[in-house]
Amino acid sequence: MEQEMAIEQKNYERDSSLRQILVITQVEIDQSKSHLIQKKSALIGAKINLENVQMQLNQLQISILDLQSEYHRSYWQLTDNISRSLDALSNQLDYEA
């Protein structure tokens, strides 16, 4: 996208030079300028989209970290609950024996 914009910039500059020496018409220079403006606009739009995607990626990475943290917390809670339940069951079996 940036390469296309650079090409349009060169085309416009070339066309402007040719216009100064009356080789091309004003219509042609206006068309060249219009193409350049379109490419600049497309480039700006692409950069904005890229920034939005990067923000979404950052948010997803944060969500992944939160989910991993929650998973580990839940895992250790379950492990602790299982251990306590086993201890209680073992104590109860020892008491009954």
What's the rounded Cα separation, in Å, for the pair 9 and 3?
10
**What is the predicted pLDDT for the residue at 23?**
65
Mean pLDDT by runs of 10 across the 97 residues of the chain is 80 76 75 89 95 98 98 97 94 80
pLDDT at residue 87 in the model = 92
* Predicted local distance difference test score (pLDDT) of residue 20: 73
Q: Domain ranges for the chain, please list them.
A: 2-96
pLDDT for the residue numbered 4: 80
- pLDDT attached to residue 69: 97
pLDDT at 97: 65
Q: Which amino acid is at 60?
A: L
Q: What b/e string do you get for 79-88 counting C-beta neighbours within 10 Å, with b at 16 or more?
A: eeeeeeeeee
How many alpha carbons fall within 13 Å on the CB side of residue 70? 6
